């Protein structure tokens, strides 16, 4: 079966970068399946364009496997899986364990189980890809959000392990972005401080991420690699 006729699964594609990538793929004629946790305007827009939108809350094994079953009910094959779903939790005193468990479930357990149980769907595509979305913060750690950072670093380890496990048929790579898009309520001082952290000093927008994703999907000789997408933060 032609890889182009098989859908790309994107988790967490209801807004921001995930939404942008889903729309760009649809523009290119690529079928898309997406997961979303909350009904948003972006989900409605993607649904109207023909994307298959499946609700999912990757809080534990049961919810993750229920999502896998839902995917398998709608398709016999996948061109790629993009693990974009993410959570950004504060580790408040007294709730550290709960925060860690939720971050682990979303950033590591969900990709781990989805990869294992959907690998058979990827066998129908040539080429086939898995892309893990990590975070540039794993380079240096985070004093404020160690659980978030640790779970994203664990995802980068899964990139290496699954690349070895699924080769040669399925390529497994990652993208580790820093700032891509500000939020509307980010004030001018925060924006200035954040832009100063990188050598390029720009807010690149979601297009920079999509170009990285497209590179991974289109390059036949790349697996076990995590692309650093940080505007040169490591140079500062």
Q: Which residues contact 29 (CB under 8 A, 6 or more apart)?
A: 4
Estimate to the nearest angstrom the gap between the alpha carbon of 89 and the chain centroid: 17
Q: What residues pair up with 229 in beta bridges, in sequence order?
A: 177
Helices assigned H by DSSP within the chain: 16-27, 41-48, 61-74, 96-104, 110-122, 146-166, 188-195, 206-218
Residues in the chain: 236
In order of 37, 60, 67, 97, the CA distances from 55 in angstroms are 6, 14, 8, 26
Which of 148, 190, 210, 215 is catalytic? The answer is: 148
148 carries an active-site annotation? yes
Name the one residue in this structure whose structure tokens are 């309520």: 185
Phi, psi of 128 (to 5 degrees): -135, 145
In order of 15, 81, 211, 214, the CA distances from 227 in angstroms are 22, 17, 11, 12
Instruction: Give the active site residues.
Output: 148
């Amino acid at each position: 079966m032609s890889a182009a006729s098989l859908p790309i699964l994107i988790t967490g594609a209801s807004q921001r970068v995930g939404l942008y990538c889903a729309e760009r793929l649809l523009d290119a004629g690529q079928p898309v399946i997406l997961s979303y946790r909350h009904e948003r305007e972006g989900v409605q827009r993607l649904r109207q364009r023909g994307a298959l939108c499946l609700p999912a809350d990757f809080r534990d094994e049961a919810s993750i496997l229920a999502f896998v079953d839902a995917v398998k009910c709608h398709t016999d094959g996948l061109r790629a899986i993009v693990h974009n779903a993410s959570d950004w939790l504060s580790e408040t005193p007294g709730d550290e364990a709960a925060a860690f468990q939720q971050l682990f479930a979303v950033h590591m357990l969900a990709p781990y189980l989805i990869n294992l149980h959907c690998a058979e769907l990827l066998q129908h595509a040539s080429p086939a890809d898995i892309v893990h979305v990590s975070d540039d913060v794993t380079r240096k750690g985070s004093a404020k959000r160690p659980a978030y950072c640790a779970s994203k670093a664990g995802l980068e380890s899964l990139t290496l392990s699954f690349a070895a496990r699924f080769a040669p048929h399925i390529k497994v790579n990652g993208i580790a972005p820093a700032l891509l898009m500000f939020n509307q309520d980010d004030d001018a001082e925060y924006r200035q401080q954040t832009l100063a952290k990188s050598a390029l000093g720009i807010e690149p927008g979601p297009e920079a991420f999509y170009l990285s994703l497209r590179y991974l999907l289109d390059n036949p000789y790349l697996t076990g690699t995590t692309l650093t997408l940080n505007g040169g933060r490591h140079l500062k």
